[in-house]
Amino acid sequence: MQKKKFYLIDATALCYRAFYGVSALSTTFGQPTGAIYGFINILQKILKDNKPDYLAICFDVSRDTFRQKKFKEYKIQRPPMPDGLSSQIPFIKKIVLAYGLALFEKEGFEADDIIATLASKAAELGLSTVIVSSDKDILQLVDEDTQVFSPYKDEGVFYDQEKVLKRFGVEPPRIVDIIALMGDSVDNIPGVPGIGEKTAASLIKEFGSLDKLLRERDKIKQEKVNRSIAQNLEMIKLNRELAQLDSKVDIDFDLKKAKPAGPDLVELYRLFKHLEFKRFLKDLPYEEEKREHAQAVLIEEEELKALLSKKEELFLYGLKLEELIFAIGDKVFQVKKPYRELKDMLADPGIKKTGHDLKKTKVSLAREGIVLEGIDFDTMIAAYLLNPSKSNYGLQDVSWDYLGIRPADSLDPVAAIGMLRDLKPKLKKELAEKSLDKLFTDLEMPLVEVLAQMELCGIKLDLDILKQLSKDIDKRLIKLIEEIYSISGCEFNINSPKQLREILFEKLKLPVVKKTKTGPSTDEEVLKALSGRNELPALLLEYRQLTKLKNTYIDALPELVDEASGRVHTSFNQTGTETGRLSSSNPNLQNIPIKTDIGRNIRRSIISSGSRNYLLSCDYSQIELRILAHLSKDDDLIEAFRQNRDIHRITASLVYGLDEADVDQKQREMAKRVNFGIVYGLTAYGLSRDLGISVDEAQRFIDAYFLRYPKVQEYIQEQIEKAKADGFVTTLLGRRRYIPQINDKNLGVRQFAQRQAVNTPIQGSASDLIKLAMVQIQRKLASAGLKSTMILQIHDELLFDVAHSELKEVVALVRERMEGVLKLDVPIRVDIKMGKNWLEMKEVE
């Protein structure tokens, strides 16, 4: 009869391995989860594939074990458990218990000793034991009843007696003898100088055991090895004691408790939801309590008339008129015919509408000729304001966060209405509690209407320019490829990193700048670094830039032109950045490189809508520096802006101790880099790299900058301290960004979080400012009955399509609103240009 199997898991070792393998994973509130995720993966695989009869999870408790008493240096080189890992261990233990599994640990002993003891007890009970671990020293326990399973290589490796013998050339009990000679760097067991794994294994194989080797060491043929062993006899004996696992730990063991009891699905659901493990949640066979929701009722015209007259709030879900599901009060309705009354309800601004991503709904209905007004509450926007770091704001994701409803493969429209009705009061309450309700009501919700109008309006393109540009680039690429092949001495796939590595680092013998998992990196940073050594990297950079621009814009833009309107209708994303900035997609017009000829020509292809229309570009001048001056209250910075002086020249004059008239262009450029860089947490290393100067020179310049603008430095430190204390920072209008990594023990992570803490209030305030201007400008254009339209927002710039007859009025209106939208300690300035296309423009006074 086959023996029952007892699985013993070395949890501490697996947690370390998972932590370093999936270290970047964390929740939106900053809790690291990589080790938890990796551990659950392995645990689930063992439970599913092996179905153990008995299972025990074993943990280390502390670093202070009986081995430290024997050898105080034991494991001393291993740093304390990283905070990022130690914060995950309690969750892992809770998950183990929620799976109904036995957990073993004991003060003064390592998990390996617990495992050795349990394996011994299992053998006495006639069980077959499988130890899950990747530690070498655990292999000493392998015998006819015990195997070790290392789960990391493909399907994992099972070590039985034969496998250990094949791998090390010795029987499992002799693994301790090998470690005694070669040491173990992980546990800081010192090896004998000159003896590695191969030598240690061959010696033990030759002599049969460590004891015999030490007794007959005069027979060791290699004189150097003989001498080294003779000089380290006491250390070798101590090493063996340290490596020998204790199989007699006094632990309370009841085999019945090691039998998997079955998971507590409610507790696992709670834990997985808290840790944001969507995949594990989806696979969890947990039936939630059935949520009762009304069935949709088909509504007829007469009842629609009655509802229209009541002006009650309407909850809305769907994108097309005949597929809309809506709720009024406690009733859910569906309309199968395009009744005029339904259109009137949707168009009535007096009937408040609540929905999820109402901009998309408004744009979709508008394309059917149906007006949607009265947009009041968007659950997607509310969820974004409350937590701007999430990657997804779908209705099911938000319902999961706030209602505990597990995401389904498909969303029932009637259930969606129920979610909307339950979400609104919860989100509304939290917005008020976090002082975000005014930002939501006065800025973000009105902006939904503005962005919808911009998307519907679209942008006109000169397709002939793009067509000619595509041909020009094709010619340049052909020539460029020939040059690349000529320098390389052969033809190869330029888009293949593997082939490119061979050319750069094997054939041309260029130095490796940095490595990836697959070999030397060939990214942009590397090619820039190598450009001074060989002309090929510079050509490769040009090739990549040209192909990217061609594929992303020049060839893609014509394909995105809508046949009905003849325009490109980019989508504006209101929930895409943590600072509050807008992003765009299909096409993404935020990343056109305006400093290159091709980038400028792409701008040339964006044109006004007609022969009597002009494009009007209205760009905030140095808005982030002006906001920095306002927030920091630095007197010199404020005064420079009030006097409308050249801020870069005045900074250079202060730092270099010169009159402004004596500042040269190079000095002004240095000051400009620092002025803008301070906003983004500039470091001496970053400045030195940008300007090609030494790190020391860069640091001296930054120090001199703070000496001249001391309140800027005070502001930076205040923001970092505020983020540490509160866990978040805010913009001028109260927008929040949570920065949980600000207290991380990892220096790199902490410094990045500090830069976010400094930059977010500045960049986020600039974002709030231009958004507020957009809302107010749109209202002014509408109330004045003007035909001119706002068509694009990109960073600090607004682009308008303006009728010639309205130019003067629109310029005045836009300037007044953009410059007067908020009262700062410094004046806000807008640079306005006009032209027939987005490139060839002239200043407007």
Q: What is the CATH number of the domain that holds 745?
A: 1.10.150.20
Q: Are 258 and 54 in contact (CB under 8 A)?
A: yes
Q: Among 714, 736, 765, which residue terminates a domain? A: 765
Q: For residue 707, tell me if it sits in a domain.
A: yes
Residue ending a domain, choose from 412, 441, 470:
441
Q: Report how far residue 176's alpha carbon sits from residue 181's, in angstroms, rounded to the nearest whole number.
A: 9
Q: What are phi and psi of 354, to 5 degrees?
A: -115, 135
Would you call the peptide bond into 587 cis, given omega within 30 degrees of 0 as the criterion?
A: yes
408, 488: one domain:
no
Residue 434 sits in the same domain as residue 468: no
- Domain count for the chain, please give it: 4
532 and 656 fall within a common domain: no
pLDDT of residue 821: 94
Q: Which of 599, 802, 571, 643 is nearest to 832 (CA)?
A: 802
E-state strands within 290-344? 297-298, 314-317, 325-328, 331-334
CA separation for the pair 332, 564 (Å, rounded): 35
Q: Is residue 231 part of a domain?
A: no
In the listed set 441, 470, 494, which residue is the last one of a domain according to the structure? 441
pLDDT confidence of residue 288: 58
Query: For the purposes of burial, counting CB atoms within 10 Å of the CB of 48, is it exposed (0-12), middle (13-18) or buried (19 or more)?
Result: exposed
Q: Is 70 helix (H, G, I), strand (E, B) or coil?
A: helix
Q: In this structure, what token pair is assigned to residue 316?
A: 């809305």
Residue 801 lies in a domain: no
In the predicted model, residues of the chain with pLDDT beneath 70 are 1, 22-24, 62-80, 153-155, 185-188, 286-294, 517, 745
Same domain, 475 and 422: no
843 in a structural domain: no
For residue 137, give the 3-state DSSP assignment. Answer: helix
CB contact at 8 A, 589 and 794: yes
Tokens representing 689 are 């790299």
The answer to the question of residue 266 being in a domain is no
439-446 contact pairs (CB < 8 A, 24+) = 439/385, 439/733, 439/734, 439/735, 439/768, 440/381, 440/382, 440/385, 443/733, 443/768, 443/771, 443/772, 443/775, 444/378, 444/381, 444/385, 444/574, 444/771, 445/375, 445/376, 445/377, 445/378, 445/381, 446/775
pLDDT score for 717: 93
* Tokens representing residue 723 in the block: 């983020």
Same domain, 516 and 630: no
Place of tokens 């659901």: 269
Q: Is 341 found in the same domain as 251?
A: no
Residue with tokens 């493969």: 409
Position 817 in a domain: no
CA distance 190 to 698: 44
- 106 vs 103: CA distance, rounded Å: 10
Tell me if 278 sits within 8 A of 290, measured CB to CB: no
Show the beta-strand stretches assigned E in 566-687: 571-573, 583-585, 606-607, 613-620
Are residues 187 and 74 in contact, defined by beta-carbon separation less than 8 angstroms? Answer: yes
466 vs 605: CA distance, rounded Å: 7
Containing structural domain, residue 525: 460-568+576-607
Calculate the alpha carbon distances from 627 to 703, 760, 828 in Å.
21, 11, 9
Domain co-membership, 357 together with 392: yes
Say if residues 480 and 539 touch (Cβ distance below 8 Å): yes
Q: Which residues pair with 328 in a beta bridge?
A: 331
Question: What does the block give as tokens for 725?
Answer: 């204390």
Whole-angstrom distance, CA of residue 767 vs CA of residue 796: 8
Q: Are residues 643 and 581 in the same domain?
A: no
433 and 485 both lie in a single domain: no
Q: Are strands 102-104 and 54-58 parallel, antiparallel or unpaired?
A: parallel
Q: Would residue 768 be called left, alpha or beta, if left means φ above 0 and alpha means ψ between -120 and 50 degrees?
A: alpha
Instruction: Report how far residue 490's alpha carbon sits from residue 506's, in angstroms, rounded to the nearest whole number.
Output: 13
Report yes or no on 207 lying in a domain: no
Report the half-sphere exposure of 750 (CA within 13 A, side-chain side). Answer: 10
Partners of 572 in the beta sheet? Answer: 584
**CA 706 to chain CA mean position, Å:** 32
Q: Of the candidates 20, 54, 56, which has an alpha carbon nearest to the alpha carbon of residue 38?
A: 20
Q: What tokens appear for 305 in the block?
A: 């008339």
Quickly list H helices, 22-65. 34-50
Q: 109 by DSSP, 3-state: which?
A: coil
Please report the sign of the dihedral spanned by the C-alpha atoms of residue 178, residue 184, residue 188, residue 194: positive
Q: What is the pLDDT of residue 76?
A: 44
Residue 825 domain-assigned?
Answer: no
Residue type, 618: C
Dig out the tokens for 598 from the structure. Answer: 């091709």
Structure tokens at 14: 């697996």
Q: Which residues of 132-169 are buried (b: 16+ CB within 10 A; e: fewer)?
A: bbbbbbbbbbbbebbbbbbbeeeeeeebeeebbbeebe
Summary count for the chain: helices (H), strands (E):
37, 25
Task: Round to whole Å and give the CA distance between 220 and 214.
Answer: 10
* Torsion over CA: 534, 539, 542, 543 (sign): negative
* pLDDT of amino acid 95: 94
Give the residue from 585, 596, 579, 229 showing the smallest Cα distance to 389: 579
Q: What angle do CA 245, 246, 250 make, to 5 degrees?
A: 150
Question: Are 312 and 403 members of one domain?
Answer: yes
**Same domain, yes or no, for 521 and 644?**
no
At residue 550, the 3 state secondary structure works out as helix
Same domain, 593 and 660: no
